Structure 1
């Protein structure tokens, strides 16, 4: 069934006596307007979004897969605490470089080409991790895996933003926020895999656990490679920004289900329209004019979220085992339950209500919950009684719920929807570069600080959500429901 659109000044439809009139494309603005109205029923838009989220799933899986095996890696390779921290954070160092260059490439050569290339990083690196003979090979393979993670996030966020409607249920902000429950689902699946391997491996082969978990990451990557060439197309808005209105019309028909036609005069208009190609100078544009305030806010939210989440979530198995003093099985089950029941559920809630409530209010709420949680954990310290253990676990749950509802979901909303199509790749890439730097610092410092401060480390971590709250109160920018892509057509880039 075809979808019709009411005529507008920029995209008028010619009258027809034989059926619904086709939308007419005269400019990149018309393409953006059609995307904002939503895909036709039965289109591939949701499949494109699902495949983009598949990349996010891999990012989360690979970043969290080593959490339970870090002690075994340290023991097998006789690593010092500093060496353990370097192996753990190698993937994040790779993601720093991958995000910076991936953001530029996403805007320069297009979303499709970058997305079709980056999955090979995951396959090669996962297999190299599984068979690593020493810590140097393992760290190097994790670094290469991080390159794939860093490259993938800018292009995945671009697809989510540029294949979604502007307002209503399932709008751009909601689709981008979906990355959060997908992330926690990946973490939970990694926990389930750990549980499965842990239950079936003989005790004499328990040292293979971390190798199996890391190597399994190649499986979903191969599946994504196999199916995405069938459904993934270039972003129609990006193609239109490059002056390829004919290509944008084809993409709209193939992936979005909208059978639009080019206006007769489109050749002349396209010749006069500015082509918004990717450039290294675009990184500088993030720090000028209206984008400076948005960049500062998105960066603070991203850094604060990454630092606090990585310190707590990556250290969750260690934290729980120290609270409960129980077996590996208890630690795995408790970590799985906390992630599914609180972080994952919080992310689903955020996706559902962000079109009505907005990303700003939800992020404020999330940071407030995290601040209360971390201060409470610092006060409780190392539990010595059953009520204190219950309180500590409840506070961890509150932290993860706040992460899912607030900064976990919307750090990428602010990073992706603060910039129009021409700057979205570098915007997300810049944000991810600094976010990953924060993650690397957190992953490296957490084992050291935890060893020195024990549970007093929560006083230090609490500064992260406090900084996020202060930034949000100082800069009240709401990206949900705002047509940021229209800014490309009101200015020269």
Structure 2
């Protein structure tokens, strides 16, 4: 029987006696997690560390946003050359997502998470010191590998260390990735602002190097603290036959008194008669999962395309539309992300247990469609009133992204598949997401130079397609016990 790194058992002196639960299989473990009313103590810490990985993913993806003009000038890049440098990180993330999804199911959540942070440290330092565009592109590709590997395992931790229903349920926990993402973008803006004020003007062209290099700091912090707190997912451990290990995690992470039944089957339990395999990517398209996979795949393509074009290009859009100084661009980007995108993400976390993912996603797409059509119609603002209107429309787009598809596309990807194939489910989502982001980042410099404000008409197709997909496929993952599908198939 395989053993996994675990917390040691703890004594809870002074606490009243609690019912001791007996577990015989992975289904029992899943039920205890889903219905737990205990204080989640270390479970919260584990989820926070997993979100730390998400924070780093977002920070590194957006680290070059303010350096586009300086990088173009320093390395004498054409629009196509700039597109290749910017999209290198998503090329790496595509490969990383495929590998990470498979490894998350194959060798476990713990081992994958313990390894992937080293990608971020190395790539951040290499990128900050890049002497040319080629080295910068390589560093971004390596960083993309880390991002692609990290997200499947992070989503698995969030889904498998939270309850099924009520406040802080699985959907809310997974949706928490969204405000974490925007918090990272906000931190990058604040860091740019701090460096802008603290460094002499002659250093402005090097701001992007400082921002990229700083990404190594949170990665090192996560490396230092994760060894102490991280552990394996109890559901995954139980499915491998390690019921004793699963019991230890339940005791240490949830304070749930648990013992293993004397007659429990401790052989590896594959409830769907599958082993972790590359072939499981094909399983996502079988009759049972096909409609969910189609819906999730459509959302995973259209949402990142629109967001990448707007969010990554936000400093460029603001400076182009408003023709303001670098300081104004930084402040406007900071306000938009903190007050609207981040706020929308928090709203998604708070409201999804009551409103569900589907309705909130439809509403978010609706806000984005209105915003993009408005931006396309206004075009280049002339005068203060039109400039304020454009700012409000950008705010509406980011607010809709935060409480709608930004939060819930990942909820759909994580909670449409049971734990036995959750890794490859999120891996597929991230592969499609990164393909979409790659196209957006590559095409954005080209489209904005050829279409100008007409770019918004192209981006507006994304929410239209997302709305149609949700209307045709009526699937609601929030509050649904997806892991029960695995265990039901185990029954004769």
- TM-score bracket, shorter-length normalisation: over 0.9
Which portions of structure 1, spanning 4 or more consecutive aligned residues, are displaced by more than 3 angstroms?
269-277
The answer as to whether partners of 1:39 and 1:164 remain within 8 angstroms in 2 is no
Secondary structure at the aligned position of 1:491 is classed as helix
| 1:270 Cα deviation after fit | 4.2
Secondary structure at the aligned position of 2:64 is classed as coil
Q: Give the counterpart of 1:69 among 59, 67, 70.
A: 67
C-alpha RMSD of the superposition: 1.4
- 1:39-188 matches, cutoff 5 A: 40-41=38-39, 43-188=41-186
Q: Deviations over 1:390-419 (max 9, x none)?
A: 111111000000000100010100000000
The answer as to whether partners of 2:171 and 2:479 remain within 8 angstroms in 1 is yes
Normalised by the length of structure 2, the TM-score is 0.95
Find the aligned partners of 2:270 and 2:110 in 1 and give their Cα distance.
Answer: 23
Alpha-carbon distance change, 479 to 42 in structure 1, aligned in 2, over 3 angstroms: closer
Find the aligned partners of 1:214 and 1:157 in 2 and give their Cα distance.
Answer: 25
The equivalent of 1:241 in structure 2 is: 239
The answer as to whether partners of 1:81 and 1:448 remain within 8 angstroms in 2 is yes
The equivalent of 2:5 in structure 1 is: none
Q: Give the counterpart of 2:324 among 306, 323, 326.
A: 326
Find the aligned partners of 1:171 and 1:19 in 2 and give their Cα distance.
Answer: 26
Alpha-carbon distance change, 42 to 291 in structure 1, aligned in 2, over 3 angstroms: closer
Secondary structure at the aligned position of 2:66 is classed as coil
The answer as to whether partners of 2:58 and 2:182 remain within 8 angstroms in 1 is yes
Secondary structure at the aligned position of 2:321 is classed as helix
The equivalent of 1:430 in structure 2 is: 428
Find the aligned partners of 1:273 and 1:202 in 2 and give their Cα distance.
Answer: 61
The answer as to whether partners of 2:240 and 2:267 remain within 8 angstroms in 1 is no
The answer as to whether partners of 1:231 and 1:255 remain within 8 angstroms in 2 is no
The answer as to whether partners of 2:373 and 2:456 remain within 8 angstroms in 1 is yes
Q: Which moved more, 1:334-343 or 1:18-27?
A: 18-27
Find the aligned partners of 2:59 and 2:261 in 1 and give their Cα distance.
Answer: 46
Secondary structure at the aligned position of 1:290 is classed as coil
| 1:41 Cα deviation after fit | 1.8
The answer as to whether partners of 1:85 and 1:445 remain within 8 angstroms in 2 is yes
| 1:218 Cα deviation after fit | 0.2
Q: Deviations over 1:318-355 (max 9, x none)?
A: 11112221100000000000111110001111100100
Q: Deviations over 1:79-113 (max 9, x none)?
A: 11111111111111100000011000000000000
| 1:487 Cα deviation after fit | 1.0
The equivalent of 1:414 in structure 2 is: 412
1:361 correspondence with 2:359: yes
Find the aligned partners of 1:395 and 1:340 in 2 and give their Cα distance.
Answer: 15
The equivalent of 2:258 in structure 1 is: 260
- 1:394-409 matches, cutoff 5 A: 394-409=392-407
Q: Deviations over 1:133-187 (max 9, x none)?
A: 1111100000000000000000000000000000000000000000000000000
The answer as to whether partners of 1:41 and 1:257 remain within 8 angstroms in 2 is yes
Secondary structure at the aligned position of 2:255 is classed as coil
Give unmatched runs, 5+ long, in structure 2: 1-15
Alpha-carbon distance change, 273 to 132 in structure 1, aligned in 2, over 3 angstroms: closer
| 1:206 Cα deviation after fit | 2.0
The answer as to whether partners of 2:240 and 2:269 remain within 8 angstroms in 1 is no
1:485 correspondence with 2:492: no
The equivalent of 1:199 in structure 2 is: 197
Normalised by the length of structure 1, the TM-score is 0.94
| 1:207 Cα deviation after fit | 2.1
The answer as to whether partners of 1:243 and 1:273 remain within 8 angstroms in 2 is no
| 1:276 Cα deviation after fit | 5.1
Find the aligned partners of 1:50 and 1:240 in 2 and give their Cα distance.
Answer: 23
Q: Deviations over 1:229-265 (max 9, x none)?
A: 1111000000111121111111111222222001110
- 1:190-339 matches, cutoff 5 A: 190-267=188-265, 270=267, 277-339=275-337
Find the aligned partners of 1:40 and 1:47 in 2 and give their Cα distance.
Answer: 15
The equivalent of 1:11 in structure 2 is: none
Secondary structure at the aligned position of 2:41 is classed as coil
The answer as to whether partners of 2:363 and 2:404 remain within 8 angstroms in 1 is yes
The answer as to whether partners of 1:378 and 1:457 remain within 8 angstroms in 2 is yes
Give unmatched runs, 5+ long, in structure 1: 1-17
Find the aligned partners of 1:309 and 1:20 in 2 and give their Cα distance.
Answer: 48
| 1:279 Cα deviation after fit | 0.8
Find the aligned partners of 1:61 and 1:272 in 2 and give their Cα distance.
Answer: 38
Q: Give the counterpart of 2:387 among 389, 402, 405.
A: 389
